[in-house]
Chain A
Amino acid sequence: MGILSIFFAATAKIITTKPKAERVSYIHGSFKCCESQCYFKPPSGVAFFSIKAANYNYNSAYSHYEPNINNSFYINALSNPPRFYSTETGEEFLLNWNLTYSDFESYMRLSAPDENISNCQNGLVYISW
């Protein structure tokens, strides 16, 4: 009977325990494209995406933040400016250069020091979350 008492007491503790408050789970990662066609499928559960693009030959770069990306799309990192497009809807999104390439390099040194961008000087799109 003693054993049964311990069993029921433990069960009661589980049942009566108040759930703790919800907490948000962040996931992090990055995506790099320096080709004429890359496919990007955004992960779910991401707070916001940081989109960077750069082209050494034009001394141009682009910076943008987007909290809500829920479309998959293709990227042409070698066009000027880089092209985001969907083969399903036919829509496309063209960047407007708003940084210099050196600004982009500074950002990458601080935010993604392990990324090697030297072999992507003809066009690079870097998405991180």
Chain B
Amino acid sequence: MKQMLNRGFSLVEVMLIFLICSLILAASVPFITRKSRAIPSKISHGMYRCYSNGTNFTEEYYNSYSMVSSNNVAECKFKIPASATVFKIDLIGAGAGGHEYYKVEDSEESISGQYHISGGFSGKAYQRPSDVELKKYFSGLRVKLCQYAPNAQAGQSLKYSRFSPGNFNCRGIVNQISANNKQISALRSDKKFFESNKTQIKALESANIKLAEASKMVAEYASKYENSMQNDFLTNELSNYCASQGWGEGIVIASESRTIKGGSGGKGGYIDVSFDIGEGKPNQSFESYLSGLLTKDYLKGRCPAAGCSEASFQQASTVATTQSAGTYAIPEGVSDTGIYAGKSGADVEYLAAIKTPDGIVTHTAPSTGGEAAALQVYTSSINELPGAAGESATSQLAISCNEIKPYISISTNINIKEHYTGHGGGAGDYKTVYSYGLSGDEDNNCRIKISHGGSPAQFGVEPEEDLSTSIVCGDYHNSVNGGSYKLSSVNKKSYHLVQYLSSIPDMFKTLPESGEGSKYNTNMFWLKYKVPAMNIGAGGNGSGIIDKCTEPHGTYNYTLNNGYRGSSKYNKSENFNFNRNCTNDSTFVSNIPATKGQGGGVVIVW
């Protein structure tokens, strides 16, 4: 061993050492000569929240994935993370408290209702009448019912034309005069040969004079038939005469039109009955009797002509009638030769009936139609025979024949309970601000001021509390206002006692108005972790009322109207009172207290 140490390195060994050192040196050259550079750091993200939990504050830190810490602290301080660059800061002010105000008052309203025998009870009045009350009010009310029968028809009138002597002629005469006049007019208009035409014009004028004389002869002949019918005269007399003279047929230049009237129809009859509504029916409740009155006991209908029974009475919307067609009856002593007659009016037999609780009443007497007009024509004269009026079944009623529908009016004055309560508080304001870099105090903290929420306002007096939220990070400062109190008005809720008469409740409970909801949107859609939605900065609830004085008080009145039109009224009226035995004092009325607003908060995301 000692020999080996004394011997030293051989040349080969030294060369190998230098070779190894050379390789190490060559490999180290890139590291030795490279300039030193810092390793980039990764940007960190996270979230900070601090909000009131009533007495203290809850302060939470999150990293990119989950909550890191949660502490109950007396003061919020944000430790600024070193590697964060951009901060989104949400500031939420504290909510105002509700308004501690309540008052209960009574007011009154008038409401009405009616009880009709045709439709029962309607409206919102105090209560529907009892059976005993209904009978009491309808008692003694005697109503009158009636129906008219339709009128029998009138007889027909007759229209005809009479001969008028001066206005007939023969067609040959009329045509020849017309032709002569046209020729005379043409000859006179020819100025060039007027002198040579004079002789011809004179001859034509002479011919017209002779034709005019012939017309006079026709008129003289026709005057013998002055009272004849126009058509018969033309057919039988004038045309024969004109033909015998060589003047063609007879023609009408003008005639006279005349009308003779038929008789009017007879007037129909009517039914007139009356009964006492208030009597009712034995073994039947009065209300049941009234409800069936118009559908069972008082009906308009019809019966067979021979009479009427309960079984044969038929309810009908249109009353049946029988009708016989009339014809003209030729007067005694008058020959039926040459008679022209209209049609007489139909007779009407009225089969109506009225059913009342007392029985069925009918009326079957017929009314006769009017007689038609007639015309009796002779060779040289005409007799006009006017119609005659039909026979009336009976005279008209003295009063209008209307439906009778008596009813009861019910008027009620009843109290309304008015509950006045305070509004809920307004929510704290909310805003988002961005900051590129923050620097805190000596401990690199931001100092944050948050209110625990506004106290309820007592009867219109706003508490002197600072509800704002603020953050101070070195020179950086920002803040947001708290919610507003709503003291300038109050809520009003009305309880109409009339709606609770059939079932009086144990209490009227007016719930407090909720405070305004938080303006802060806790949506954490962008983040990995999910935090529960919070009502940071919401307003406190207003006040409510529990009211156990629920009995109604007031008056009500019944009035009976018999329903007649055009007749004196039969009215009855009576007043009633109903009173409660409670008051609006603290014995029966208490409040649901208003609540304070929710505290504010700060959320910082980086």
Contact = CB atoms under 8 A, between A and B. Distances in A.
Contacts of B24: 7
A14 interface: yes
A26 B31 CA distance: 27
Nearest to A7: B25
Given A47-B43, A71-B525, A92-B525, A3 B605 contact: no
B150 interface: no
A1 to B, nearest CB: 10
B568 interface: no
Q: Give the contact-size bracket for chain A.
A: 35 or more
B606 A68 contact: yes
Contacts of A29: none
A86 B605 CA distance: 21
B37 A20 contact: yes
A24 B527 contact: no
Secondary structure at the B interface, as helix, strand, loop or mixed, is: loop
A89 B32 CA distance: 53
A114 interface: no
A112 interface: no
A71 B527 CA distance: 6
Contact of B45 (A4, A11, A68, A93): A68
B399 interface: no
Contacts of B523: 93
B46 A68 contact: yes
Contact of B525 (A45, A48, A93): A93
Tell which of A11, A66, A86, A89 has the most Cβ of chain B within 10 Å.
Answer: A66
Interface residues of B, number: 35
Interface string A1-34: 0011001001101100101111111100000000
Interface string A94-128: 00000000000000000000000000000000000
Interface string B34-47: 00111111110111
Contacts of A93: 523, 525-526
A70 B45 contact: yes
Contacts of A25: 40-41, 43
A2 to B, nearest CB: 11
B82 to A, nearest CB: 9
A48 B527 contact: no
A65 B21 contact: no
A120 B306 CA distance: 94
A70 B528 contact: yes
A62 interface: no
Contact of A67 (B38, B40, B65, B87): B87
A70 B606 contact: no
A47 B32 contact: no
A68 B47 contact: yes
Interface in B427-442: 434
B28 A22 contact: no
Given A14-B32, A46-B43, A68 B25 contact: no
A73 interface: yes
A14 B37 CA distance: 12
Contacts of B42: 44-45
B80 to A, nearest CB: 14
A70 B45 CA distance: 9
Nearest to A9: B32
Interface in A40-61: 44-48
Given A70-B64, A70-B528, A93-B525, A20 B36 contact: yes
A48 B86 contact: yes
Contacts of B39: 22
A24 B41 contact: yes
B36 A67 contact: no
A66 B521 CA distance: 14
B85 interface: yes
A66 B22 CA distance: 56
Contacts of A26: 43
Contacts of A24: 40-41, 43, 83, 85
Given A21-B38, A48-B85, A84-B525, 11 more contacts: A3-B21, A20-B36, A23-B38, A24-B85, A25-B40, A47-B86, A70-B45, A70-B527, A71-B525, A71-B526, A86-B525
Interface of A: 3-4, 7, 10-11, 13-14, 17, 19-26, 44-48, 65-71, 73, 84, 86, 89, 91-93
